[in-house]
Structure 1
Amino acid sequence: MAFKAVLFLLATFLLITTRVSSSDEDPRMKAPTPPYAKVPVPAPAQAKVPAKPPTPSPPTKATPPPAKPPTYAPLPPVKSTADCVPLCDQRCKLHSRKRLCMRACMTCCYRCKCVPPGTYGNQEMCGKCYTGMTTHGNRVKCP
């Protein structure tokens, strides 16, 4: 019997504390407003739109960065086919098929008036004429 009384008191205590704590949150517990009073209608809640990150503005017209000096020696001028021989000889000295390389190099030098420095690469230094020349098989012609 005492157990039932303690259990009843505990249940009553929990019920009262639950009512008291939820009365602040429950809108039904508010005092009734008279029917003639104007009650403002709350605006529907709008979802918050995340702010867009600031987009970088295009750079203003400022002075361009200073041009870096070339890291290679300027190309020697090619005025005749006689000037092509030492340049192509230097270009093809390490090639496995030197005669084939010399023939292609001389053709490119004669047409484009330029031979890139070094034994390989640097073709862009002679421009589109040198880099755009191809063989019948659509391979790069100039060494």
Structure 2
Amino acid sequence: MKLHFTTVVVCSLILSFSLLEPATAGSPFCDSKCAERCKQAGVQDRCLKYCGICCEDCKCVPSGTYGNKHECPCYRDKVNKKGKPKCP
């Protein structure tokens, strides 16, 4: 019985990790757009993370490294828990 339970647990962990990886991987479109958007950011890893989240949700990223958020209203209107802009 213990062997059966252990096998089920191991299989479910392997399955969950295999399903999690594609969900967190960015698309080539978002990766390239966010790399351009965040190339001058002071904290680049954080900029890339939030830009990637916003890009996946909105399917767009404003041009340039700052501003131009009027080009993508969804990106512009996303806010964090404190009501501040979520997307860089």
Q: Which category of TM-score, normalised to the shorter sequence, fits these structures?
A: 0.5 to 0.7
**CA distance in 1 between partners of 2:51 and 2:57 (Å):** 10
Residue 116 of structure 1 corresponds to: 62
**CA distance in 2 between partners of 1:81 and 1:139 (Å):** 26
**CA distance in 2 between partners of 1:94 and 1:111 (Å):** 23
Shift of 1:119: 0.3
TM-score normalised according to structure 2 size: 0.68
Instruction: State the one-letter code of the partner of 2:39.
Output: K
Q: Is the counterpart of residue 99 in structure 1 residue 45 in structure 2?
A: yes
Matched residue pairs, number?
63
Q: Is the counterpart of residue 133 in structure 1 residue 78 in structure 2?
A: yes
TM-score normalised according to structure 1 size: 0.43
RCO (CA 8 Å, sep 6+): is it higher in 1 or 2?
Answer: 2
Residue 49 of structure 1 corresponds to: none
- 1:116 partner SS: coil
- 2:61 partner SS: coil
Shift of 1:132: 1.1
Shift of 1:82: 1.9
Runs of 4+ in 1 over 2 A off after TM superposition: none
Residue 36 of structure 2 corresponds to: 90
- For the pair shown, the structure with the greater C-alpha radius of gyration is 1
Instruction: State the one-letter code of the partner of 2:69.
Output: Q
